[in-house]
Amino acid sequence: MNKDIIQGHWKEVKGKLKQQWGNLTDDEIAKMNGTRQELQGLLQKKYGYQKDKVEQEIDNFLKKNGWDE
């Protein structure tokens, strides 16, 4: 999967992130700069996901929202 998908759809993604992962703050989302790597780290920190789980969660999130280009 293209790692730039999140960045390419960043304006749309920001709103959906709060819906999917309500523990993320607006400040944390703003600091991510639209990078998948930043989202991975934040989800691991906030939700305790392991690397494989966080990859799966992000992939599912992208598919659910039609961004799985």
pTM for the whole structure: 0.82
Mean pLDDT in residue range 20-46? 91
Is 69 part of a structural domain of the chain?
no
> What band does 31 get if pLDDT is binned at 50, 70 and 90?
confident
Is 10 part of a structural domain of the chain?
yes
* Non-local CB neighbours of 12 within 8 Å, separated by 6+ positions: 65, 67
Residue 2 has pLDDT above 70, yes or no: no
Is 51 part of a structural domain of the chain?
yes
The CATH code of the domain that includes 16 is 1.10.1470.10
Which parts of 1-69 are beta strand (E)? none
Domain of residue 39 covers: 5-64
Give the type of residue at 3: K
